[in-house]
Amino acid sequence: MKLSNANRLAGESRAMDVDAERPCPECGALMVEFDRLEEDGALFIWYSCTREDCTGQWLAKRVLRMCGA
């Protein structure tokens, strides 16, 4: 299991990568990647709202490999 905080890697305060068209579920502002975890062939990406006064967050799961038949 590999855990990395995008903020620490980039040396930035709140953001690393902007996911295209990822609106905040709380306020509708743009969300940015905040953290990621790679586990069991999947990548879990945690997004945080770009507005300072908003606590909106979102978790996305992406498959890294496909199983063959």
Residue 69 lies in a domain: no
Give 68's pLDDT tier (boundaries 50, 70, 90): low
In sequence order, which residues have a C-beta less than 8 Å from that of residue 62 and are 6 or more positions away? Answer: 42, 43, 44, 45
How many domains are there within the chain?
1
Residue 42 lies in a domain: yes
Tens digit of each residue's pLDDT (9 = 90 or more) over 18-60:
445 689 999 999 999 999 999 988 999 999 999 999 999 999 9
Residue 25 lies in a domain: yes
Residue 40 lies in a domain: yes
Give the global pTM.
0.62
Residue 59 lies in a domain: yes
- The C-alpha atoms of residue 23 and residue 28 are separated, in whole angstroms, by 5
For residue 17, give Cα distances in angstroms to 1, 46, 48, 67, 68: 21, 11, 11, 28, 31
Residue 68 lies in a domain: no
Which residue range is the domain that position 29 belongs to? 2-63
- The C-alpha atoms of residue 10 and residue 56 are separated, in whole angstroms, by 21
Q: What is the mean pLDDT of residues 5-9?
A: 46
46 burial type by CB count under 10 A (0-12 exposed, 13-18 middle, 19+ buried): middle
